[in-house]
Structure 1
Amino acid sequence: MAEPIEFFFDFASGYSYFAATEIDELAARHGRSVRWRAFSLGSSFKVTDAKPLTRTPLKAEYAALDWARIARLKGLEFAMPVDHPHAGMPALRGFYWLDAQDPALAVRFAKEVFRHYFAEGLAIDDAAAVAEVARSLGADPSAFVAAVASPELKAKARAAGEDAVGRGVFGAPWLIVDGEPYWGWDRLPMVERKLAETGASEAR
């Protein structure tokens, strides 16, 4: 069996949002699965001394323009969240709480959180608000809120960031395909070509 594609994402990353709408279908076209890995870009920023795009002069205006036009290109709703970016720790911890129970449900949750955040301004820093997304997918919102406040989930979220940095991840989205890293939504065509070439090679 071919190795899963590893997909590292941050809930406050616009480019992660766009990649999240494509990566599963892209992988499936080449007989691959995807291992979704939520993390906080803050873990990488501590190492690289970087800042979020929308809090960096010049880059902020460009990112807002670029995200809006990508959304139009892809036919997605988009509205820059007020006071973006939000750290979104309840969403990050909640992803791993769901992932431990049902990885497929966690992926559905991640996609819904992205959509609600970048289209409707979901308060991803508010556990109760994020719990409503989980509730819409069949999860117990009270259990969700309790879980994301637990020391175990906080430790899991920290470990996810440390693992990402330890593997060289400094941006989002970040994909690892057969050990090779790709940074950014705009690298998805390269990922697809890599998968096609690998598949052709294995078929020979």
Structure 2
Amino acid sequence: MIEFWFDFSSAYAFFAAAEIDDLAARTGRGLLWRPYMLGTAFKATGARGLSATPLKGDYARRDWARLARLKGLEFRLPPGHPKVALAATRAFYWIEDQAPDLAPAFARLVFRRYYTEGLDTSDLAAVAPLGAGLGLDPGALAAGAALPAIKERAKAISEEAVARGIFGSPFFIADGEPFWGHDRLPMVEDWLRRGGW
């Protein structure tokens, strides 16, 4: 099993999301998509996001553009990046409750729209219409994502991540082994193929 932990506002997670399905298929593993709020981890570690860190932020923007060219992906940082993607995260978990097979497709759509069209992932009114493309009623999605139980679930999952030692995005648990960062995907694949080392 591969667990794919990420924050929608993590650009490196966007690149990982473009590759993770194929990696899971090549290695014959199930894949669990797990959005969480990276801010919860930052509170525990004292870290802050790349975009807000001097020098690192400038390098990261250059690296993201370079990765997009390398992978042939359309990529534009939205205005006001990074957004606090709480609305998108809550919407994901409501969809997972209602139609589990659609949740990964929703996550892919959120990533694509955020990094190409500037989707406001912090605004449920902006996020809910994405459900229509998956055959979900946007009104039901908006109402569902605002339910207290879904809010609590998203919070609990973020706290679970930190309790399990997950502190970045993207972060992978591959057959029980933790890996941090998009650049670890080749190592994840090798670990799964060889059964560890």
Shorter-chain TM-score above 0.5: yes
**Residue identity opposite 2:10 in structure 1:** S
Following TM superposition, the consecutive aligned residue runs of length 4 or more in structure 1 with deviations greater than 4 angstroms are none
Q: Mapping of 1:43-192 within 5 angstroms?
A: 43-192=40-189
Q: Quick one: distance in 2 between partners of 1:74 and 1:101?
A: 33
Query: Identity over the aligned pairs, expressed in percent?
Result: 55
Q: Quick one: distance in 2 between partners of 1:132 and 1:63?
A: 31
- 1:80 is paired with a residue whose SS is coil
Match for residue 28 of structure 2 among 22, 31, 47: 31
- 1:12 is paired with a residue whose SS is coil
Please report the RMSD computed on the Cα atoms of aligned residues, expressed in angstroms.
1.3
**Residue identity opposite 1:119 in structure 2:** T
TM-superposed deviation, 1:65:
0.8
Ranges in structure 1 where 5+ consecutive residues have no aligned partner: none
Q: Quick one: distance in 2 between partners of 1:108 and 1:174?
A: 19
**Residue identity opposite 1:118 in structure 2:** Y
Q: Quick one: distance in 2 between partners of 1:54 and 1:84?
A: 8
- 1:78 is paired with a residue whose SS is coil
Q: Quick one: distance in 2 between partners of 1:174 and 1:14?
A: 13
Asked whether the equivalents of residues 175 and 192 of structure 2 are also in contact (C-alpha less than 8 Å), the reply is no
- Tell me the TM-score normalized by structure 2: 0.97
Aligned residue pairs, count: 197
**Residue identity opposite 2:35 in structure 1:** A
TM-superposed deviation, 1:104:
2.1
- 1:7 is paired with a residue whose SS is strand
Ranges in structure 2 where 5+ consecutive residues have no aligned partner: none
- Tell me the TM-score normalized by structure 1: 0.93
- 2:84 is paired with a residue whose SS is coil
TM-superposed deviation, 1:55:
0.8
Q: Quick one: distance in 2 between partners of 1:102 and 1:73?
A: 34
CA offsets 1:33-86 (integer angstroms, 9 cap, x no match): 101111010010010011111011111111111111111111111111111110
